[in-house]
Chain A
Amino acid sequence: MLHLILFSVFAVIAVAGALNLLVQRHPISSALSLIVVMGSLAVEYLLLGAEFVAAIQVIIYAGAIMVLFVFVIMLLNAGVEERTKGSKVALILGFPAMLVGGLLVAWVLLRAPNVGSVNVGAMYGPPKAIGWLLFHDFLLPFEVTSVLVLIAIMGAVVLASPVRSRFSRPQPEPERQALKAAAGTEPAHEETVTARRSS
C-alpha cells in the first residue's frame, strides 16, 4: 500500500516536472525540470524493484545527458525563449488529438496479448540478472550498440570540430571561429541523443 502511494506521488512529480518543462521560458529551468523528471523516474524504477535500472537512469540520464544539456546552455548563452502567439488551430485540434492518441495507445497496449500489471518488486532488478540478460539472451543487440556508440562519436566529432589543418597555427580570430562552430553544433547533439535513445 505504501509502495502504491509512493509510486503515485513520484508519478505525479514526474508529470508535473514534464509540464513545468514546457511552461518554463528559460532553457536552464526547462533543463532542470527534465532532471527532476529523470530523477523521479529513477525512483519509480526503484519502487518496482529494478534497482540496477534505477541507478543507470540516474548515472546516464540525470548525470550525463542532462549535464550535456546544461553545459550547452551555459556555453551558448541561450536566452529566454520568445513566446509566439501560437496558432488557434493547434490549440483547438491539438489537445483533443493528444487525448485521443493517448487513449488509443493505451487501448492497444492493454488489449495486446501477454500484457498485465507488474507487481511491486517483480521486475528484473538485481545487477546479476541484468548481466545475464544482456550478455546472454540479448547478445546481438548489445554488440550492435557498440556500433551505434561509434557512430555517435564520429558524428559528434565531425560536426563539432572547427575546420582547420592540424599543423597550422590558430587563425587570428579564434573566438569568432569557435562561435561559428558553436552555432553549427545543434544538429550534432540532437542526432547523438536520438542515436542513444534508439539503442
Chain B
Amino acid sequence: MPQNYVPIFLFMGVAFAIPAVTLVLFKLVRPENPHKTKLMPYECGITPLDDARGRYTVRFYIVAILFVVFDVETIFLLPWAVRFRWLGKFGLLEMGIFLGILIVGYIWIWKKGALEWV
C-alpha cells in the first residue's frame, strides 16, 4: 500500500521545517559580531599554515570499498532470511554456497592484511 508511506514523507517535511524555521527566525535576534580571529579555522590558537583539504591515507578508501561489497552481501541475505522457513534446507544449501565463496574472500583479505589499520 503506497499510501502507508505518505506519513514518512510528511514526517520528513516537518523534521525539515523545524530546524529551517528556527535558523531563519532567530537570525532576527541573534547577535552578529564577526571578527577576523573569530572567523579563522580553529587550530588551537595557532594561525593555520595551509588549506585543510589535502590527501589522506588510502586505508579509508579500502574501508569504504569493503563496506560497499559487504553491504551488497548483507542485502542479499535479508530477503533470504525472511523467506527462510519456506526455502528450508534447500535455502540453507544455496546460501551456504553464496556465503562460502564470500567467506573465502574474507579470509583472503584478512591474510592479505587489508583489515589492518597500522
- Asked if chains A and B come from one complex, the reply is yes
**A189-B2 in contact (CB<8A):** no
Residue of A with least CB distance to B52: A77
List chain B residues, Cβ under 8 A from A174.
57
| 11 A-B contact pairs sorted by A residue (CB < 8 Å) | A3-B2, A47-B2, A64-B71, A67-B64, A131-B87, A135-B80, A142-B98, A146-B73, A156-B66, A178-B55, A182-B57
A-B contact count (CB 8 A): 152
Stretch at the interface among A84-92, A101-109, A111-119, A157-165: A157-165
**B65-A188 in contact (CB<8A):** yes
- Chain B interfacial positions (CB closer than 8 Å to A): 2, 5, 53-62, 64-69, 71-73, 75-76, 78-80, 82-83, 86-87, 91, 94, 97-99, 101-102, 104-106, 108-109, 112-114, 118
Q: How far is the CB of B48 from chain A (nearest CB, A)?
A: 16
- A154, CB-defined interface residue at 8 Å: yes
- A150, CB-defined interface residue at 8 Å: yes
List chain B residues, Cβ under 8 A from A77.
53-55
- A83, CB-defined interface residue at 8 Å: no
A49 and B79 in contact, given A72-B64, A157-B109 (Cβ under 8 angstroms): no
Interface of A is mostly: helix
A130 and B79 in contact, given A46-B2, A76-B55, A161-B112 (Cβ under 8 angstroms): yes
List chain B residues, Cβ under 8 A from A65.
68
- A152, CB-defined interface residue at 8 Å: yes
Bound-state CA distance A169–B54 (Å) is: 24
List chain B residues, Cβ under 8 A from A149.
69, 72-73, 102, 105
Residue of B with least CB distance to A160: B62
Bound-state CA distance A198–B71 (Å) is: 17
